[in-house]
Amino acid sequence: MKKSIAIIAAAVLAMGALTACGSKAEETTAAAATTAAATEAAAETETEAETEAAEELSGAVATDGSTSMESVIGILGESFMQLHPDVTFTYNPTGSGSGITAVQEGRCDIGLSSRALKDEETAGGLKGETVALDGIAIIVNNENPVTDLSLDQIAQIYKGEITNWSEVGGNDEEIVLIGREAGSGTRDGFESITGTEDLCQYRQELTSTGDVITTVSQNPAAIGYASLASVSDQTKTLTVDGVEPTEDTVRDGSYKIQRPFVLVTKDGEALSAQAQAFYDYAMSSDVADLIAQAGAVAIH
């Protein structure tokens, strides 16, 4: 009889242990579910907060400067406004020098320069950060049979030492030199790289990249230079020392005629919330594909 009682007691203890384990397992499962729910709720709250912040951003962002940056700044501005519908983004294509002056005088939030800032500009309280790299394409009329020039030949042409296309394998006709106006970032970049500062014998000095492209497209004897981000089939792009201007050759440095695209602001002076948001967006790795679509090479 005692043996039977012992067996029964053992069985009762075992059942109790199983019940206790089951309760602990249920408690653990419930705790895990609660933690997961809390994590999901926190994530949803964070996403909602980010969305609300984006929706709350409003006002205007004004940019001014380089005409060569039109494609890049245009695609970035449009994308930014899609993310922030209450923000108005404007771009005034006045040229690098004018854009630098505009930000210095407080007439825009961000200046746009297709050259690095000069020492006197940084000493005057400005700072510049490169957002992308751009090749400066050498362009000729589509009817021109010339396909390649060396860097030295380009310099000789613009200095007036080579004056006829026949001297470089082209037709027997006088070369017509087209360039940009003084203060242009494209001109500054081209002349500094080719060593032709203050030596170019321009026939025409034009105030925008688009004007240069149009003028060259209409004159079979013309040669010009333009931002790689802006060229089209209106003109023919030459190789330089056998290297074609492309995203890859600009990035690896094998295409020599290239320059930076720079965002210019006042050093030590805070931007508005919306202007700072655009600046951060433009400098982020998130826009690399957009910059590539615009024909330039993203830095980040």
SS3 118: coil
Q: Quote the CA–CA distance of 235 and 220 in Å, as a whole number.
A: 10
Is there a single domain that holds both residue 161 and residue 247?
yes
Q: Is 125 left (phi over 0), alpha (psi -120 to 50) or beta?
A: left
Its domain, for residue 70, covers 57-132+264-298
Is there a single domain that holds both residue 165 and residue 232?
yes
Is there a single domain that holds both residue 29 and residue 65?
no
Domain count, the chain: 3
Is there a single domain that holds both residue 4 and residue 82?
no
Is there a single domain that holds both residue 184 and residue 114?
no
Is there a single domain that holds both residue 160 and residue 245?
yes
Is there a single domain that holds both residue 231 and residue 248?
yes
H helical segments located in the chain:
2-56, 70-83, 96-104, 119-123, 151-158, 185-194, 209-217, 247-251, 273-282, 288-293
Structure confidence at residue 56 (pLDDT): 83
H helical segments located in 84-232:
96-104, 119-123, 151-158, 185-194, 209-217
Which pair of tokens denotes residue 272? 């508005």
Q: Is the pTM of this model over 0.75?
A: no
Q: CA angle 241-243-248, nearest 5°? A: 150
Is there a single domain that holds both residue 143 and residue 236?
yes
SS3 120: helix
Neighbouring CB atoms inside 10 A of 200's CB total: 19
Is there a single domain that holds both residue 220 and residue 199?
yes
Blockwise average pLDDT, block size 10, the chain, 300 residues: 37 41 46 49 47 72 95 97 98 96 98 95 97 96 98 98 98 98 91 95 96 98 94 96 94 94 97 98 97 90
Is there a single domain that holds both residue 254 and residue 143?
yes
Structure confidence at residue 13 (pLDDT): 38
Neighbouring CB atoms inside 10 A of 24's CB total: 10
Find the CATH number of the domain harbouring 76: 3.40.190.10
H helical segments located in 66-204:
70-83, 96-104, 119-123, 151-158, 185-194
Is there a single domain that holds both residue 103 and residue 195?
no
Is there a single domain that holds both residue 222 and residue 277?
no
The alpha carbon of residue 191 and the mean position of all alpha carbons in its chain are separated, in whole angstroms, by: 23
Q: Quote the CA–CA distance of 158 and 149 in Å, as a whole number.
A: 12
Structure confidence at residue 49 (pLDDT): 45
- Nearest to residue 291, comparing CAs of 283, 207, 125, 196? 283
Structure confidence at residue 55 (pLDDT): 56
